[in-house]
Structure formats: structure tokens, C-alpha cells
């Protein structure tokens, strides 16, 4: 299995640190079918963080119609991020900075939150020499949480950018609880304006 898009980035070379921009897609942004409150506020910090890394990977939900996670199929969510629709499109600024795009959630029978599950993401990062990842995007309590946990469990030093995430908060406090869970799992919490440097030399 290969990534959906890999843009050569010769100026970056073999990467040490990657930014994982999780699911910054139309349906999760204001006006979308599953809009995350203030979801568009993650874009500016992600753009800022991209200057401090060697590789930018954007993950995206890329669901078939009638996916099992959709309410009409008995799932918990309204239909969202159907492959090829405007709602599945990455925010244009995130799309612009992404060297690699990885799709997930393509199995109609399985709901997937992590950018690592059923994708080539871990192997792709290792092949690029990545040892640490920064994680931001949507949503804190679902896909960001799952992606960050899988990142640290896969052996990557993992930092979640707290100003570059927003939560669904189906239950009030879900987002804050997710961040505490990530901290307890050994994941660093930081802001994008605390990052220094310009990636690997």
C-alpha cells in the first residue's frame, strides 16, 4: 500500500521530524457536515509548525458512500468526508504544505480514527528517517488522540500541538480529557510558538 500523494521535497532530504496534520477537511471545518467548533483555528498554527519540520504529512478521512460510521448505517456520525467530494477535500493551505497525503477509513465496514491504522504511514515515516512527530488537526478527542497514541506506540517521539487542535466535545470536557490521556501516555504537549529551528540540518 502506498500513500495517496508523495511530493518530492529535495530541499528537506532525509527527515528527522514530521508534522502530522490530521483530517483538516471541509466536513470538519465550519459549515461542514460534522463541523468541529473553531475547527479552522488549527490552520494557522499548523502552517507555523510546518516551518520547524522536515516533512509534512496530511491525513484524511476518505470514506466510501454508506460507510458504517454514518448515522444512516447505524453509526455515530452524520455522513462526512465521502471520497472525491468537497467535504473530503483538505483545507487548501494544508494541502499546499503537505508533502504526503495519506487516506484512511476506506473500508466500508470499519470505523478508523488513527492515521496509522490500515495505512502505510509508519513505514513511510521510517523510510524518510523520521524519529519524532508533531501532531495537530481535527479532532482532539478522536482522530488526533488515536493518531498520537499510535505514533508513540510505534516508537516515534510524539508532541501534540495544543494550539493546533480542536475537540468535538460530544461530552463537555472530552477534549481536555484526551489531552491528559496523551500526556499520561508519554506524549509531550506544546504550542506551535514554542517550537524552534528549521527541521534537520
Surface-to-core class of residue 41, CB atoms within 10 Å of its CB (0-12 exposed, 13-18 middle, 19+ buried): middle
Question: Quick check: 138 and 167 in contact, CB under 8 A?
Answer: no
How far apart are the C-alpha atoms of 79 and 188, rounded to whole Å? 33
Active-site residue 81, yes or no?
A: no
The C-alpha atoms of residue 10 and residue 147 are separated, in whole angstroms, by 27
Residue 57: closest CA among 15, 99, 90: 99
**From the candidates 27, 54, 99, 104, which is the catalytic residue?**
104
Q: Which of 23, 61, 99, 150 is catalytic?
A: 23
- Listed in sequence order, the DSSP H helices in the chain are 43-50, 92-97, 121-127, 145-153, 174-184
From first to last of its 201 residues, what are the pLDDT tens digits of the chain? 557 766 554 444 556 999 999 999 999 999 999 999 999 999 999 999 999 999 999 999 999 999 999 999 999 999 999 999 999 999 999 999 999 999 999 999 999 999 999 999 999 999 999 999 999 999 999 999 999 999 999 999 999 999 999 999 999 999 999 999 999 999 999 999 998 654 443
Query: Could you tell me the three cell numbers for 165?
Result: 487542535
pLDDT of residue 199: 46
Provide the pLDDT for residue 6: 65
Buried b (16+ CB within 10 A) or exposed e, 146-178: bbbbbbbeeebebbbbbbbbbbbbeeeebbebb
Q: Is 23 a catalytic residue?
A: yes
Q: Can you give the pLDDT at residue 201?
A: 36
Q: What is the pLDDT of residue 1?
A: 54
Which domains, and CATH codes, for the chain? 5-194 (3.40.50.850)
Q: Check 81, 99, 143, 150 and give the catalytic one.
A: 143
pTM over 0.85: yes
Amino acid at each position: 500500500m502506498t500513500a495517496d500523494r508523495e511530493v518530492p521535497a529535495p530541499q528537506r532530504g532525509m527527515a528527522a521530524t514530521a508534522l502530522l496534520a490530521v483530517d483538516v477537511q471541509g466536513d470538519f471545518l465550519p459549515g461542514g457536515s460534522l463541523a468541529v467548533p473553531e475547527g479552522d483555528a488549527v490552520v494557522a498554527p499548523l502552517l507555523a509548525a510546518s516551518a520547524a519540520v522536515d516533512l509534512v504529512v496530511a491525513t484524511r478521512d476518505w470514506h466510501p458512500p454508506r460507510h458504517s460510521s454514518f448515522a444512516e448505517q447505524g453509526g455515530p456520525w452524520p455522513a462526512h468526508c465521502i471520497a472525491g467530494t468537497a467535504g473530503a477535500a483538505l483545507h487548501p493551505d494544508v494541502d499546499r504544505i503537505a508533502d504526503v497525503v495519506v487516506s484512511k477509513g476506506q473500508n466500508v465496514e470499519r470505523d478508523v480514527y488513527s492515521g496509522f491504522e490500515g495505512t502505510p504511514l509508519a513505514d513511510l515515516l521510517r523510510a524518510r528517517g523520521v524519529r519524532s512527530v508533531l501532531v495537530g488537526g481535527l479532532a482532539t478527542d478522536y482522530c488526533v488522540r488515536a493518531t498520537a497514541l499510535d505514533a508513540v506506540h510505534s516508537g516515534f517521539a510524539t508532541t501534540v500541538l495544543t494550539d493546533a487542535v480542536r475537540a468535538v466535545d460530544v461530552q463537555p470536557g472530552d477534549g481536555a480529557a484526551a489531552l491528559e490521556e496523551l500526556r499520561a501516555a508519554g506524549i509531550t504537549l506544546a504550542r506551535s510558538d514554542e517550537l524552534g529551528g528549521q527541521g534537520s540540518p
